A = this chain, B = another copy of it.
Amino acid sequence: MLRIFRRRFSSFCDYTIRTHTCDELTAKNIDEKVSIMGWLAFKRMDRFLVVRDSYGTIQAKLPQKLSSLVKDLPYESVIRIDGKVVDRGDKNRNLNMKTGEIEIEVEELEILNRSSKDIPFLPDEKSTKSHEKTRLKYRYIDLRSAKMQRSLRIRSEFVHNLRKFLVDQKKFVDVETPTLFRRTPGGAAEFVVPAPQPNLGQAYSLPQSPQQFKQLLMVGGIDRYFQIARCYRDEGSKGDRQPEFTQVDIEMSFTTQNGIMQLIEQMIVSSWPSSLSHLKPKLPFPRVKYSEVMENYGSDKPDFRIPWKIEKDEQNIFDILKTKNSTENWNARFIVCKNASEKVSNSLKKEWKRLIEMNENGRNFAICQKNHTLKSINLSEIPNFDVENDTLIVSWGESEGVNWTLGYLRNYVAELNGLRQKSEVQAHWVIDFPLFSRENGQMVSTHHPFTAPISEHQELLNDETRLEDITGQHYDLVINGVEMGGGSIRIHNSDIQKHVLQLLNEPMEEMNHLLEALSFGAPPHGGFALGLDRFVALLTSEGDPTTPVRDVIAFPKTKNGRDLMSDSPTTLDAKQIERYGIQLKS
């Protein structure tokens, strides 16, 4: 190897035996001797090579005597080329390429690792949906693509900026908390980890979040805590979720709801990746009440980029849809989707109906467009509805389900009309959630049992008839229709926490350690958790909430929880069965 030119040109080359990365040579370097390493991305006439590394591409020109070396060399082989930077000449310049003014006149070529010619695909090959499984199985090839390189690097940059904001500017302490923990109440969705001797017959649980530990850290005087925490959630193949995921976990003592919300929005804006600054939202993020978003958008996480709102049927135009079984809770509401002229096909309507009917809140609905109106209803009476250019969604039936149904349809129609793919980021806080909700007659926490009520409502905890009137100190961060994170001021008083757990019928013995901790000098505290995977997916897609999180995870699992690359999970072997005293039924 030509070690004479081991001068370093950028810190990307520190500690390596290359002199430059493939993106950094320009006309300024003409006549320099360089050593480049990378993947063979393209070749022409066995004389012209394009070499690619993680940063870019460069062209190399082989002398005749070396061309036999590359004659049968498969693409994606790893090579080293040493040589001199030369001008390509006026005719051959490629101004679309950063290094397009020059090429390397190769003096030495070494094949560092020959690739198999049976490579299943090339990194930047246009992929079709049918290749998704292949790309996951050979994820390491897909990672070489410009798209995956960009995603992982933006993720790394965002997380690093975030740490610098929290530690350098705001004096937070990064504390690691255990992942081998104890099951939490309602913990059916927590993976278990059988313990070996001397705890044979028992198991740890992998926690869904460091919630208890972050509160215990506040009790322990780490008054400004954060952690980029690995969390685990066993929800089978529900939606676009991974069995393990990452959250930015934050907790602070002696703070308020307002304090945490300010911290989080400043953190997000300060850490915004430099290449995406055109999408950075303005501060402060608007705050809207839960009751308001439910009333106007039929969702607690509306996409505020969609300009349409739910309207009441003030003129009783839809009363004709009432049946004799309708109660006084019957109502009809509608949304005028201005300029939503994309036609909703019958098959799409059927699909939406199916999705909406899966939920107990699903109600009857109709979608009215040019040539598709609702029988016996005079649509021209609808204020501000232009049958030529707009779409009208109407839903009717009992109580809140009508708004819920409209909330979903609003998203569907917006997506069909391209509004959700718009390159724009809108962040809002949703606040003033009810502390409790009723599910199948049982009182449950709207979020989790550690959320404090607003101080004005604390007394209501003692009035069983008023529980549903209590507002909690919870706040959700909603971006482009996705709940990116949530947090709350916590209960710091042991007696109140115990009372709330009792109201909720939670098994007290599982939570004794927390109740005890609150009794030994717990400061008032609150916090937040940001879903990192989802947030970065939104960033890298420039705001598209439908981008799957696997696009920003190096080695994701499928919806079925499988790692196609290593073919995991697998059956247990004899040693494992013996060590953990474990039997699995399939």
Work out how many copies of this chain go into the complex: 2
Q: Which residue of chain B has the shortest Cβ distance to A572 in the bound complex?
A: B203
Q: Which residue of chain B has the shortest Cβ distance to A507 in the bound complex?
A: B573
Q: Would you call A317 an interface residue if the criterion is a C-beta within 8 Å of the partner chain's C-beta atoms?
A: no
Q: How many A residues, CB 8 Å from partner? A: 138
Question: If A141-B220, A201-B586, A520-B140 touch, does A16 touch B255 (CB 8 Å cutoff)?
Answer: yes
Question: If A171-B11, A193-B193, A586-B202 touch, does A177 touch B554 (CB 8 Å cutoff)?
Answer: yes
Inter-subunit contact A580/B244 (CB<8 Å) = no
Q: Would you call A446 an interface residue if the criterion is a C-beta within 8 Å of the partner chain's C-beta atoms?
A: no
Cα–Cα distance between A564 and B524 once the two chains are bound (Å) = 25
Inter-subunit contact A175/B192 (CB<8 Å) = no
Inter-subunit contact A140/B12 (CB<8 Å) = no
Q: Which residue of chain B has the shortest Cβ distance to A553 in the bound complex?
A: B176
Inter-subunit contact B175/A216 (CB<8 Å) = no
Cα–Cα distance between A585 and B580 once the two chains are bound (Å) = 8
Inter-subunit contact A523/B78 (CB<8 Å) = yes
Identify which of A205, A219, A221 gathers the most chain B CB atoms within 10 Å of its CB.
A221
Q: Which of B16, B557, B572 interacts with A180 by CB under 8 Å? A: B557
Cα–Cα distance between A170 and B72 once the two chains are bound (Å) = 36
Q: Could you tell me the distance in whole angstroms from the C-beta of A395 to the nearest C-beta in chain B?
A: 34
Q: Which residues of B contact A113 (CB under 8 A)?
A: 492-493, 518, 521-524
Contact with B along A153-192 (1 / 0, CB 8 A): 1011001100110011111011111111111000110011
Q: Would you call A333 an interface residue if the criterion is a C-beta within 8 Å of the partner chain's C-beta atoms?
A: no
Q: Which of B196, B220, B230, B263 interacts with A234 by CB under 8 Å? A: B196
Question: If A138-B520, A192-B193, A517-B140 touch, does A181 touch B563 (CB 8 Å cutoff)?
Answer: yes
Q: Could you tell me the distance in whole angstroms from the C-beta of A579 to the nearest C-beta in chain B?
A: 6
Q: Would you call A239 an interface residue if the criterion is a C-beta within 8 Å of the partner chain's C-beta atoms?
A: no
Q: Which residue of chain B has the shortest Cβ distance to A184 in the bound complex?
A: B566
Identify which of residues 542-586 in chain A touch chain B, using a CB-to-CB cut-off of 8 Å.
Answer: 553-555, 557, 560-563, 565-573, 575-576, 579-586
Q: Which residues of B contact A236 (CB under 8 A)?
A: 196-198
Cα–Cα distance between A391 and B584 once the two chains are bound (Å) = 58
Q: Would you call A213 an interface residue if the criterion is a C-beta within 8 Å of the partner chain's C-beta atoms?
A: yes
Identify which of residues 464-484 in chain A touch chain B, using a CB-to-CB cut-off of 8 Å.
Answer: none
Q: Would you call A296 an interface residue if the criterion is a C-beta within 8 Å of the partner chain's C-beta atoms?
A: no
Identify which of A17, A196, A518, A567 gathers the most chain B CB atoms within 10 Å of its CB.
A196
Inter-subunit contact B523/A37 (CB<8 Å) = yes
Q: Would you call A256 an interface residue if the criterion is a C-beta within 8 Å of the partner chain's C-beta atoms?
A: yes
Cα–Cα distance between A560 and B198 once the two chains are bound (Å) = 7
Inter-subunit contact B152/A222 (CB<8 Å) = yes
Question: If A167-B160, A582-B582, A584-B202 touch, does A230 touch B78 (CB 8 Å cutoff)?
Answer: no
Q: Would you call A199 an interface residue if the criterion is a C-beta within 8 Å of the partner chain's C-beta atoms?
A: yes
Question: If A199-B569, A569-B203, A570-B182 touch, does A78 touch B213 (CB 8 Å cutoff)?
Answer: no
Q: Which residues of B contact A563 (CB under 8 A)?
A: 178, 180-182
Inter-subunit contact A254/B37 (CB<8 Å) = yes
Q: Which residues of B contact A203 (CB under 8 A)?
A: 569-572, 576, 584
Contact with B along A81-96 (1 / 0, CB 8 A): 0000000000000000
Inter-subunit contact A182/B15 (CB<8 Å) = no
Q: Would you call A270 an interface residue if the criterion is a C-beta within 8 Å of the partner chain's C-beta atoms?
A: no
7 A–B pairs (Cβ distance < 8 Å), ordered by A: A16-B255, A156-B173, A180-B557, A182-B568, A182-B569, A198-B560, A200-B584
